[in-house]
Structure 1
Amino acid sequence: MPTQPPLSLIPYRPATDGPLLRTWVTTRAELMTWAGPSFSWPLDEAQLTAYAAEPDRRIWTALSPTGEPVGHVSLSGTRLGRVLIAPGARAHGLGSALVSRAVELCFDELRLPEITLGVWAHNTAALRIYEKLGFRTQQVIKDVEQVDGTPWSAVQMRLPAPDRSQ
């Protein structure tokens, strides 16, 4: 298995990263997959400005080793979310690298006691990443949203902090 490319996380820059995000989310279903029902279609600058101003939210842009923005992730309290890889960078292990780096930051730098997240049940690629990193399902909420006439179920997951006493 090839090694994952290293990514760095930098604070979200609304002026440059917001317009980029809007090019990465091009359909109503992609918006729901990325952010759940918290945004409305079409994604616009006003919504992203409000998102960036949420007082308890930390937002990062993932950069490739060459400095190219290739992903996005945020944290609200202990809840990781809004994980997104740029369309042109998908299928190269960056999703796993992004979530791994975010988990590392949450536990090693922010010293969180746990990380929680929600993911759509049909998003099997994301589920595999989270499970591989040790996240475990806490609850499945059946048919919580309807998208284009199809019911979507949500999987709530949790990862406790590693034992720091060693």
Structure 2
Amino acid sequence: MVELRDFRAADCRQLVEWIEGPAELWNWSGHHFSWPFDEGQLAEYAAESATPLRQSWMAFDPTNDHVVGHVSVRIDAANASGRLGRVLVAPEVRGKGYGAAMLTKALDAGFGDLGLEQIELGVWDDNANAIRLYEGLGFGCDRVLRDVVQFAGKSWSAMQMILPRSAWAADAASA
């Protein structure tokens, strides 16, 4: 349903177009970027994505080459772990299964080519759709960080989730 290709600086415009406002930017990146969001803010991120510190991809539908999403894994090689982040599905294809397909490919790459032993992530605890998706992929809640930040007049809590290689391998074997 999807394939991944490396994220490039030329993809920055696409990400900017998908982020429709400050709350969506915050949900996607936390404090790493600011509104108004522009391609210039993504230059450092694109550069880091070309190093061993981070692997970032654009997901596309191979039947029509339409770009449908973005995902990234920050790599901690010393601990053979990664942190999944910057997950974004193109607005026009949300709810059609592309997110799960994209994340499955990213997890396959993380546990495969990247040789990671575990992948973790953080998700705002009010993002029920994302939490349901991550749980469906085998992630479990490790802890909840309550009221970690104030943004847009509300207190935000972050759920930290983890997926060990053994759980991913067991899931893949049963599929």
Q: Same fold (TM over 0.5)?
A: yes
- 1:25 maps to which of 14, 19, 23: 19
Q: Distance in 1 between matches of 2:23 and 2:65?
A: 29
Aligned with 1:109: secondary structure? coil
1:95 Cα deviation from its structure 2 partner? 1.2
Q: In structure 1, how many angstroms separate the alpha carbons of the residues matched to 2:37 and 2:6?
A: 20
Per residue, is there more helix in 1 or in 2? Answer: 2
| Aligned residues: CA RMSD | 1.5
CA distance in 2, matches of 1:52, 1:152: 27
2:119 pairs with 1:115: yes
1:58 corresponds to which of 55, 80, 100:
55
Correspondence for 1:41 among 22, 31, 35: 35
Deviation at 1:141, TM superposition (A): 0.7
Q: Return the TM-score normalized by structure 1.
A: 0.91
Gaps of 5+ in 2: 76-81
Aligned position for 1:138: 142
Identical residues among aligned pairs (%):
46
Q: Structure 1: which 5+ runs fail to align?
A: 1-5
Query: 1:3 is matched with which residue?
Result: none
Moved over 2 A (4+): none
Tell me the matched-pair count.
159
2:68 maps to amino acid: V
Instruction: Give distance in 2, aligned partners of 1:75 and 1:136.
Output: 18
- Which residue of the partner structure matches residue 84 of structure 1? 88
In structure 2, distance between residues paired with 1:82 and 1:35: 6
